[in-house]
């Protein structure tokens, strides 16, 4: 089957591109477009051409799988120019998404119309590159510099109505897109044709504009957004051809960068996360009604996420007061969504009044397909809850625990049929954090595991299967990371230097700052529990601080001092005194050395986790770190990063 087919509708040619799954621009598509343009130019009977795509979307961009290979002719910028210079005007008929090279092709067309649900954008920065086929050069000429900067440096697609307002497209249509495109072309031909985008003039901006935009673009932490901005700035002060040459050189340069390789690896890993090989051919158990037991921090977050995704939800708490608190927690989350324009007041009211029900009686769970437990981290309390679930829930209902550290097997033994049991480890705040560790026990049925993965997909989460060990994947690595950071402090490296090094690497916070935010007491209490159970666990440096009342920001001091109402950490004399006798070395380390050492430690723990079969692959470790622990995605995750370091 050719990727491009041509049909006729009177004097119009309809070119249909069909390159599943997302009509990415491969070498074959580029060649096909050049050949088809020449063929249709030569046909006297053709007045105009409609470019439309089969399947779920318009062209989603250049084929990312070709990025690791040398570029092959015809290059995309030339294809876009060929379309623009065609004798017959082309109309891009967009449904789904026109992204990156897809939108660049649409800009080469004389007109762009879009289905009302379509999106257009230049998401290249998310792959560590900039647009490479005129995105930074044609967009400011088509829709102005502001729109170009928003699209190319932010990387977020715009919905068709917004794109229309900004002049990125000519018309939004409802109904049959092909028919609408032909009707549009027929009308358009009655007027003089608009100037091709490359020949339009643009209005430059002053230095203050670029300065302010540089500050915004730098916040992303990696090079591509700044490079995209610079390419647009260059395009405002140079000719079209000069700007194209500059854009192409930057594009090719970034395409071969470590950041781009890392972001590509994450891109593909994220896309395969919800469909792992071990679930091939397994039909997930159906979920439509979900119960959550416990409406505290995690339960209310999980409930909000499930409600937003369209599930009916039953919230269970131990008494009316706790139930009211749980409902209020959920409502607060929705209020935030309304404030940010992500939810309407009506939408919120519908979820709170129609989709959510709340009870203290477990009988309310009798018709749930899945119940997620998020009560106190106490084995006796959890086993008691699961015994109740066992007697109140339908026999085929899935029962899940959100435990962080308890052994799911001990919880599962409270259930008569463990084939319906598994761990669903959400991260806080559960309505926002993308990671979901899915922890089956040996008895968990295939369709139960598959249901957990499909739940993750519906919630927009990144699921990773984890085996059973203390802390599963993420918290186990976190523990090792913190221990190693403390080891550096004992060796004489300054706490603030370690945090600064990890920020320099790309984390939002270093290990000590992050612990001050979350509270040092959580890990302390866990260790105290183990000590009470007879384990011989020496005091960590964090334990010394907690024993001195320094639990973090909430206690106005932890690893750092804080001034009331201000989250800025200040190096603490008190901490220096408290830890003085534990610091035995006088090691000096540069920022890069500290970061390499600590990321290397994460990778070493990740390797052990994979070798023990707790994680399926290094890629899963990377997804856990990126989506649960703030690892900078443009470094690809600890496993990707360490592998590249040892290869270089």
Local structure of residue 279 (DSSP, 8 states): G
For residue 381 the two structure tokens come to 């309390």
Q: How far apart are CA 632 and CA 541, in angstroms?
A: 27
Overall residue count recorded for the chain in this entry? 648
Binding partner of 127, given ligand 3HC, ligand NAI, none, CB within 5-8 angstroms per partner class = ligand 3HC
Check if 425 is active-site. yes
Query: Which residue number, 108 or 295, has a Cβ lying nearer to ligand NAI?
Result: 295
Q: Which of 97, 304, 431, 475 does the annotation list as catalytic?
A: 475
Report how many residues bind ligand NAI under the rule CB under 6 A: 23
Q: Which residue lies nearer to ligand NAI by CB, 374 or 520?
A: 374
The span from the CA of 310 to the CA of 180, in Å, is 32
* Stretch 402-431 residues interacting with ligand NAI (CB under 6 A): 402-404, 426-428
Q: What is the x/- site pattern for ligand NAI, positions 353-392, by CB under 6 A? A: ---------------------xxxx---x---x-------
**Residues in binding contact with ligand 3HC, number by CB under 6 A:** 27
Please indicate whether residue 431 is annotated as part of the active site.
no
Question: Site residues for ligand NAI, window 260-319 (CB under 6 A)?
Answer: 293-299, 316-318
Binding segment toward ligand NAI, per CB under 6 A, in 173-181, 399-407, 529-537, 628-636: 399-407
Q: Which does 375 bind (CB under 5 to 8 A by kind): ligand 3HC, ligand NAI, none?
A: ligand NAI
Compute the distance between CA of residue 300 and CA of residue 522 in angstroms, rounded to an integer.
20
272 near ligand 3HC (CB under 6 A): yes
Element (H, E) at 401: strand 398-401
Burial of 160 (0-12, 13-18, 19+ CB in 10 A): buried
Among 17, 32, 33, 101, binds ligand 3HC (CB under 6 A): 101
The answer to whether residue 343 forms part of the interface with ligand 3HC (CB under 6 A) is: no
What is d(CA 459, CA 453) in angstroms, rounded to the nearest whole number?
A: 10
501 binds, among ligand 3HC, ligand NAI, none (CB under 5 to 8 A by kind): none
Is 97 a binding residue for ligand 3HC by CB under 6 A? The answer is: yes
160 touches ligand 3HC (CB under 6 A): no
The site partner of 124 among ligand NAI, ligand 3HC, none (C-beta below 5 to 8 Å per kind) is ligand 3HC
List the single partner that 57 binds among ligand NAI, ligand 3HC, none, CB under 5 to 8 Å by kind: ligand 3HC
CB of 126 to ligand 3HC, least distance (A): 6
Q: Which residue is nearest to ligand NAI (CB)?
A: 296
Give me the catalytic one of 425, 431, 486, 513.
425
Prior bond to 425 cis, omega within 30?
no
Q: Is residue 404 among the annotated active site residues?
A: yes
β-bridge mates for residue 7, sequence order? 14
d(CA 559, CA 613): 35
Rounded distance between C-alpha atoms, residue 51 and residue 47, angstroms: 14
3-class SS at 191? coil
3-class DSSP assignment, residue 318 = coil
Task: State in angstroms the smallest separation of the CB of 157 from ligand 3HC.
Answer: 8
Q: Which two tokens stand for residue 568?
A: 């800025």
Residue 623 CB, nearest approach to ligand NAI (Å) = 17
Instruction: Name the residue with tokens 């502001």.
Output: 146
Give the CA distances from residue 625 to residues 35, 261, 513, in Å, rounded to whole numbers and listed in that order.
Answer: 46, 17, 17
CA 33, distance to chain mean position in Å, is 33
Choose which of 131, 294, 295, 606 interacts with ligand 3HC (CB under 6 A).
Answer: 131
Nearest by Cα to 641 from 361, 258, 312, 91: 258
Which of 296, 442, 301 lies closest to 378, judged by CA?
A: 296
Select from 47-55, 264-272, 400-408, 577-585 the region that touches ligand 3HC (CB under 6 A).
264-272
What is the C-alpha R_g of the chain?
28
Q: Out of 135, 295, 326, 606, which residue is the one contacting ligand 3HC (CB under 6 A)? A: 135
17: contact with ligand NAI by CB under 6 A = no
Could you tell me which of 325, 251, 236 has the C-alpha nearest to residue 61? Answer: 251
Residue 117 binds to ligand 3HC (criterion: CB under 6 A): no
Element (H, E) at 62: none
> Smallest distance from the beta carbon of 115 to ligand NAI, in angstroms?
40
Q: How far apart are CA 343 and CA 566, in angstroms?
A: 30
According to CB under 6 A, which residues from 25 to 64 bind ligand 3HC? 56-57, 60-64
Question: Which residue in 437, 486, 513, 605 is the catalytic one?
Answer: 437
Binding partner at 293 among ligand NAI, ligand 3HC, none, C-beta below 5 to 8 Å by kind: ligand NAI
Rounded Cα–Cα distance for residues 466 and 452 (Å): 12
Residue number with CB closer to ligand 3HC (33 or 375): 33
**d(Cα 628, Cα 518) in Å, to the nearest integer?**
14
Q: Name which of 261 and 302 has its Cβ closer to ligand NAI.
A: 302
Identify the residue whose tokens are 């004489």: 492
Q: Which two tokens stand for residue 113?
A: 């119309």
For the question of residue 475 being annotated catalytic, the response is yes
Helix (H) / strand (E) containing 289? strand 289-293
Binding site for ligand 3HC (CB under 6 A): 21-22, 24, 56-57, 60-65, 76, 97, 99-101, 104, 123-124, 127, 131-133, 135, 268, 271-272
Residues noted as catalytic:
404, 425, 437, 475
């Amino acid at each position: 089957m050719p990727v491009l087919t041509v049909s006729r509708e009177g004097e119009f040619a309809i070119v249909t591109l069909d390159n599943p799954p997302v009509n990415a621009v491969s070498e074959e598509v580029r060649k096909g477009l050049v050949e088809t343009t020449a063929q249709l130019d030569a046909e006297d009977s053709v007045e105009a051409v409609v470019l439309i795509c089969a399947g779920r979307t318009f062209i989603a961009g250049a084929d990312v799988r070709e990025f690791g290979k040398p570029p092959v002719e015809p290059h995309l910028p030339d294809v876009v120019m060929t379309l623009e210079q065609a004798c017959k005007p082309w109309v891009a008929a967009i449904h789904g998404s026109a992204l990156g090279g897809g939108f660049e092709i649409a800009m080469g067309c004389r007109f762009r119309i879009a289905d009302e649900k379509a999106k257009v954008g230049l998401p290249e920065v998310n792959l560590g590159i900039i647009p490479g086929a005129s995105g930074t050069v044609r967009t400011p000429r088509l829709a102005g510099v502001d729109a170009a900067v928003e699209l190319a440096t932010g990387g977020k697609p715009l919905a068709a109505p917004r794109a229309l307002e900004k002049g990125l497209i000519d018309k939004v249509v409802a109904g049959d897109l092909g028919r609408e495109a032909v009707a549009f072309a027929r009308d358009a031909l009655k007027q003089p044709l608009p100037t091709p985008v490359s020949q339009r003039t643009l209005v430059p901006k002053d230095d203050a504009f670029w300065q302010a935009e540089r500050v915004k673009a730098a916040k992303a932490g990696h090079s591509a957004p700044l490079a995209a901005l610079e390419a647009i700035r260059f395009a405002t002060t140079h000719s079209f051809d000069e700007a194209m040459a500059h854009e192409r050189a930057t594009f090719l340069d970034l395409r071969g960068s470590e950041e781009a390789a890392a972001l590509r690896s994450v891109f593909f890993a994220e896309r395969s996360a919800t469909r792992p090989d071990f679930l091939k051919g397994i039909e997930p158990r159906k979920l439509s009604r979900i119960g959550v037991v416990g409406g505290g921090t995690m339960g209310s977050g999980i409930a909000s996420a499930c409600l937003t995704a369209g599930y009916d939800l039953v919230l269970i708490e131990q008494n009316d007061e706790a139930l009211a608190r749980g409902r209020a927690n959920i409502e607060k989350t929705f209020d935030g969504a309304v404030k940010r324009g992500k939810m309407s007041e009506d939408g919120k009211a519908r979820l709170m009044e129609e989709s959510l029900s709340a009870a203290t009686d477990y009988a309310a769970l009798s018709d749930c397909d899945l119940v997620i437990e998020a009560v106190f981290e106490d084995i006796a309390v959890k086993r008691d809850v699961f015994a109740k679930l066992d007697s109140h829930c339908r026999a085929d209902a899935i029962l899940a625990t959100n435990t962080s550290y308890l052994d799911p097997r001990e919880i599962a033994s409270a259930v008569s049929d463990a084939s319906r049991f598994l761990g669903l480890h959400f991260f806080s705040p559960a309505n926002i954090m993308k990671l979901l560790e899915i922890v089956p026990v040996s008895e968990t049925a295939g369709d139960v595991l598959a249901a957990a993965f499909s739940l993750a997909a519906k919630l927009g989460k990144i699921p990773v299967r984890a085996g059973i060990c203390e802390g599963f994947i993420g918290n186990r690595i976190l523990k090792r990371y913190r221990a190693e950071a403390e080891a550096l402090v004992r060796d004489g490296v300054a706490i603030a230097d370690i945090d600064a090094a990890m920020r320099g690497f790309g984390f939002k916070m270093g290990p000590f700052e992050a612990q001050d935010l979350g509270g040092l007491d959580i890990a302390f209490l866990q260790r105290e529990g183990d000590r009470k159970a007879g384990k011989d666990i020496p005091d960590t440096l964090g334990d010394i601080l907690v024993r001195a009342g320094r639990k973090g920001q909430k206690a106005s001091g932890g690893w750092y001092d804080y001034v009331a109402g201000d989250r800025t950490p200040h190096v603490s004399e008190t901490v220096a005194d408290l830890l003085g006798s534990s610091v035995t070395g006088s090691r000096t380390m540069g920022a890069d050395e500290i970061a390499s050492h600590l990321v290397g430690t994460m990778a070493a723990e990740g390797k052990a986790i994979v070798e023990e079969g707790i994680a399926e692959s290094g890629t899963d470790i990377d997804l856990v770190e990126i989506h649960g622990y703030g690892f900078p995605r443009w470094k690809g995750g600890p496993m990707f990063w360490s592998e590249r370091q040892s290869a270089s």
